[in-house]
Structure 1
Amino acid sequence: MQMLHFRVPTSCNGMRLNIFLRTMGVSSACIKAVKYQGTGFCVRLGDEVIPVHTDYRVATAQIVSFALPPEPPTAVQPEPLPIDVIYEDEFAAVLNKPAGIAVHPTLNHTSGTLANGWLYRLKCRGEDGVFRPVNRIDKNTSGLVLCAQNAFAAPELAKTVQKCYLALVEGPLPVGSGRIDVPIARRGDSIIGRCVREDGKPSVTEYTVLAASASHALVSCFPVTGRTHQIRVHFSWLGHPLAGDSLYGGHTDIIARHALHCAVLRFNRPADHEPRRVQSPLPEDFLAACCAAYLPDKEEIQTMLQSVLPCAE
């Protein structure tokens, strides 16, 4: 059972407890769960600990504490799968997902997913829990997946996470920055396919061309919105489909899957709001495709990424 602790600053003196907790980033759903399903709230000042209700008025320097309620049961089964954890604390974990593995079980992929492997990892540590991915990437997209360790952390991480993807697109693009702002909709009767259409949902991708050759360009992509297949659809519409992306017009001569990698995540750590930045090493198939396209090598690309989404701006 995880305990959370919040010190009351002077600016919150006299606030009702529930309002103070919302100010600290605790969701109303979490507050209700602690109140009705958990052990309730208490405040500490010195050696004195007092159980309190949500209408209690907090005072400067008090410590408000509560235990998060037990996690709900999950239907996902633990499986002994390798999980590459790049970062972990009591609120967040960042996993490095290889291409070819789904994030969550689906109708077509009921096992062998990141979720199955994560639950097995928790089981081996003697912990109960659920898998809470904050960002989800396609099965054949590689790279970083941010996960919340508990119900409190999930909405806070979702509010602050920023993502940078690397894409290898076909055709030369001028080095520099651009913005794609066109709506995306479901393509015909397809469950999977998407397309640019006037009646679609607003979709925005900002990008920077890092390097270009006569045949391809290496692009850092920053999705402002989070539509299904957004980066893939946007660059296909632009006339530069991702290498390997046969669904949207790309060719598989230098890479067998769409060349998209979630390379950098930045987020604020819940509770203290300290920024965190995590960077993923590039997979070998992506690097080999860059080499085949006469684009920068591993060391150059990693250096290019160092200035992307810095913790201090």
Structure 2
Amino acid sequence: MKLSWTLQEEVSLKDFLKSQGVSRRLFKTLKEEPELVTLNQLPAFLWYTGKPGDFLEVKLPDEEAGGFMEPEPIDLVIVFEDEHVIVLDKQPGVAVIPSMNQPNGTIANGLLWHYQQQGLAYTVHILTRLDRDTSGLMLIAKHRYAHTLLAADQKQGRIYRSYAALAEGHVVQETGFIHQPIGRKEGSIIEREVRQDGQDALTYYRIQERFARHTLLEMKLATGRTHQIRVHMAFLGHPLAGDTLYGGRTDVLKRQALHSQQLRFTHPFTKRILNFHSAIPADFLIK
């Protein structure tokens, strides 16, 4: 894939690409493979100076899938796709990244297959990862450069997400927040807990609907800690339905009742604001 710009002022190619958010890793590749850069369709080194009206092109290097990820045909629900990003609506019960215990059948395996069918030499760049049993919207960068730009936005809090969560019991306040630090629970590599030596974590909530024994909430993350919503709701005494890791029961749902229902971000190249919604799963709407 090629990226292109028409220069508006006299500037070194290195300084211009730095202003466009090119990562150190990509800079290193461009130095090692100068044929990837052209100025007015002629090979150019990064120390060259461009002038107003010059046409700069950069060919993105091929990427290799890391670890033990292999392409595999997986049913992916693609909500949006262009040459830079993908938005998926993930089904519950599907892991996002392969592990030693589950080397296949994941979202990452399916993405590699999807790229392979398009003739794209890309690896997997997940921006908004979801737990295995969490459903809903996910943002994926298709190539390394898009990932660099979107990761910078994510760090600055410019990728907006909200979740639907079905909590056990009756949450009293209509709106509120939970500001409690989260850390790994001693003796576990998976479970987290509220602990004073943990990382800062802030979650906002708003009640959407009340049921006989449950409360449906809209949850918004101000931080992005592992299992943050699940841990914070358990801390309040209202674990998510089906979330056995944090004290939830399975009489209503067999998986944690958490769904990524809204995703909004600025496209890293077109600069358009993209906003996506995913319907609350039917099994959340109990009576």
Q: When the two structures are superposed, what TM-score results if normalisation uses the length of structure 2?
A: 0.90
The one-letter code sitting in structure 2 at the alignment partner of 1:217 is T
Give the equivalent residue in structure 2 for 1:195.
193
Q: By how many angstroms is 1:82 displaced?
A: 1.1
Deviation readout 1:251-300 (Å, 9 max, x if unpaired): 112111100011111122122322212222333xxx233233xxxxxxxx
Aligned residue pairs total 281
The answer to whether the Cα contact below 8 Å between 1:79 and 1:116 also exists between their aligned partners in 2 is yes
- Once residues 89 and 32 of structure 2 are traced to their aligned partners in structure 1, the CA distance between those partners, rounded to angstroms, is 36
- Once residues 88 and 125 of structure 1 are traced to their aligned partners in structure 2, the CA distance between those partners, rounded to angstroms, is 12
Give the equivalent residue in structure 2 for 1:100.
93
Give the equivalent residue in structure 2 for 1:84.
77
Q: By how many angstroms is 1:31 displaced?
A: 2.3
The one-letter code sitting in structure 2 at the alignment partner of 1:8 is L
Deviation readout 1:194-244 (Å, 9 max, x if unpaired): 100001111111222222245222212222221111110011111211111
- Once residues 17 and 207 of structure 1 are traced to their aligned partners in structure 2, the CA distance between those partners, rounded to angstroms, is 47
Alignment partner for residue 57 of structure 1, among 25, 49, 54? Answer: 49
Q: By how many angstroms is 1:38 displaced?
A: 5.7
Runs of 5+ unmatched residues, structure 2: 154-158
Give the equivalent residue in structure 2 for 1:291.
286
Alignment partner for residue 26 of structure 1, among 19, 22, 25? Answer: 22
1:275–1:60 CA distance, 2 compared to 1 (3 A) = farther
Give the equivalent residue in structure 2 for 1:241.
239
- Once residues 240 and 38 of structure 1 are traced to their aligned partners in structure 2, the CA distance between those partners, rounded to angstroms, is 57
- Once residues 289 and 58 of structure 1 are traced to their aligned partners in structure 2, the CA distance between those partners, rounded to angstroms, is 57
Deviation readout 1:169-204 (Å, 9 max, x if unpaired): 122224643221111111121111110000111111
Q: By how many angstroms is 1:26 displaced?
A: 2.1
Q: Pairwise CA RMSD of aligned residues?
A: 1.9
Structure 2 residue 22 is matched with structure 1 residue 17: no
1:38–1:96 CA distance, 2 compared to 1 (3 A) = farther
- Flag as ranges the 4+ runs of structure 1 deviating above 4 A: none
Runs of 5+ unmatched residues, structure 1: 293-313
1:15–1:206 CA distance, 2 compared to 1 (3 A) = farther
Deviation readout 1:78-122 (Å, 9 max, x if unpaired): 122211111101110112211111001012211111111121222
Structure 2 residue 116 is matched with structure 1 residue 118: no
